Amino acid sequence: MVTQTNLPHRFGGFMNLDDTRRFEELDPGQMLNEIDQLPDQLETAWELGRHFPLGEISGVQQVILAGMGGSAIGADLLAAYALPMASVPVIVWRDYDLPAFAAKPGTLVVVSSHSGNTEESLSALEAARDCGAQVLAITTGGRLAQAAGAKGAPVWQFEHPGQPRAAVGFAYGLLLAVFTRLGLIPDPEDEFIGTLAVMRSQQEGIRANVPVVNNPAKRMAGQFMGRWPTILGADILEPVARRWRTQIAELAKAVAQFEALPEADHNMVAGVMNPEQLLGSTMVVFLRGTTCHPRNQRRADATRQVMMLEGFNTDAIEAVGETRMAQQWSALHFGDYTAYYLAMAYEVDPTPVEAIEDLKRRLAT
């Protein structure tokens, strides 16, 4: 029987998620510290972005946010927040080159790469130069900083020695500053300050020193053990569902998927009958927020009922806070802690991503 403190792991024994000494052994790269400091990182990024140079960027009529992985998730989060009020179209580009419409006058291409050496991002930078688009680079350095600087584009260079996925506060906060200073969205400073307060308040109940019996993020990790998690979100929480999936993959080295509402109700909800023997090994979590569209809130409840009746394990997370940004970031932070505790439960180091590095080596040959 699983106790409130101990969770079964893959070797048939138990992992004590209240054993923080074991956390230190499994986490030499201090990923937990990165998660703990996320509100501070987000605040630092906003402050940096208020003072970094914008160069001669002007007359923006559309924005393309080019990046991959940890850099792109910040763009997803920003786009979800900004689109309901942005004065120009915004797209997130995860690929080589750029779409043909980038050549239109007034295009701003923001190229983000944590390392500065992401090949897809460098390709997007080159395409932006060739089509005459305005460019802004966000990076810690590398070839992107060099190439963008050589072209006279502003380079917003920040310091972060950790993994790209742990720099999501920089990836979002700097973009938020870009959009604000260019007048593409109303000034969100009050909402931003409130968001930091909500994150820090929620954090007190889900830190590693909070025991399982009182820690909902640890208990959620327990529900994911030995199961295939599926995370659903809508509106402001759609990219948060993606973030949960990527964090589960990269921290816990575990399989997961994400789906978006209302789209999932037009296809995914039909695939709930087979294979019957696997349905009990699923865990479907609905990210809910009071700032989401009322119809999407109803869809989350109705979709959960359908899946429960078909034998799926389900749960729901209520995003904390009163504003769209606060609910987005509180739900994201909860998911980061959950993925970390899942890594601890599986007894894997949450920092290295050898599968990704191996793939890069294969592509380099």
Highest averaged pLDDT of the listed ranges 5-19, 228-242, 275-289:
228-242
Who's near 294: CB < 8 A, 6+ residues apart?
Answer: none
The pLDDT assigned to 70 comes to: 92
Would you place residue 14 in the very low, low, confident or very high pLDDT band (cuts 50, 70, 90)?
low
The model's pTM is 0.95
Catalytic one of 56, 204, 266, 354: 266
Q: Quick one: pLDDT at residue 218?
A: 97
Known catalytic residue at 333: no
Rounded to an integer, the average pLDDT of 198-213 is: 98
pLDDT for 4 beyond 90: no
| Mean pLDDT of the 267-274 span | 93
For the segment 131-136, the average pLDDT, to the nearest whole number, is: 97
Whether the pLDDT of residue 26 is over 90: the answer is yes
Residue-level pLDDT at 358: 86
- Please give the pLDDT value at position 105: 85
Q: Mean per-residue pLDDT for 160-187?
A: 97
pLDDT at 29 (0 to 100): 96
Q: Quote the pLDDT of residue 2.
A: 38
Residue 144 exposed, middle or buried by CB count within 10 Å (0-12, 13-18, 19+): buried
Residues in the chain: 365
218 is catalytic: no
Is 266 an active-site residue? yes
Task: Give the containing element (helix H, strand E) for 346.
Answer: helix 324-346
Q: Is the pLDDT of residue 60 over 60?
A: yes
pLDDT tens per residue, range 135-171: 999 999 999 999 999 999 999 999 999 999 999 999 9
Q: What is the pLDDT of residue 361?
A: 87
Q: Given a cut of 80, is residue 13 above it in pLDDT?
A: no
What is the rounded average pLDDT for all residues in the chain? 94
Q: For the residues 284-296, what does the mean pLDDT come to? A: 98
Report the pLDDT value the prediction gives residue 170, as an integer from 0 to 100. 98
Instruction: Please state, as a whole number, how many other Cβ atoms lie within 10 Å of the Cβ of residue 100.
Output: 8
Residue 120, pLDDT above cutoff 70: yes
More confident position, 55 or 12: 55
Query: Helix (H, G, I), strand (E, B), or coil: what is residue 312?
Result: coil
Question: Domains of the chain by range and CATH?
Answer: 6-28+210-346 (3.40.50.10490), 38-187 (3.40.50.10490)
Residue 1: pLDDT band (50, 70, 90) is very low
Query: How many whole angstroms separate alpha carbon 210 and alpha carbon 217?
Result: 10
> What is residue 8's predicted lDDT score, i.e. its pLDDT?
52
Q: Is the pLDDT of residue 44 over 60?
A: yes
Is 50 exceeded by the pLDDT of residue 265?
Answer: yes
Task: Name every residue whose Cβ is closer than 8 Å to that of residue 136 and which is 6 or more positions away in sequence.
Answer: 54, 55, 57, 108, 109, 110, 111, 148, 153, 154, 155, 156, 178
pLDDT at 131: 96
Residue 259 sits at φ, ψ, to 5 deg, of -135, 155
Given a contact cutoff of 8 angstroms between Cβ atoms, the answer to whether 308 and 314 are in contact is yes
Q: Which residues contact 74 (CB under 8 A, 6 or more apart)?
A: 67, 112, 168, 170, 171, 172, 174, 175
Q: In the predicted model, what is the mean pLDDT of residues 56-61?
A: 96
The catalytically annotated residue of 34, 238, 250, 259 is: 250
pLDDT tens-digit profile of 301-345? 999 999 999 999 999 999 999 999 999 999 999 999 999 999 999
> Is residue 7 scored above 70 in pLDDT?
no
Whether residue 3 has pLDDT greater than 80: no
With pLDDT > 70 as the criterion, what percentage of the chain qualifies? 96
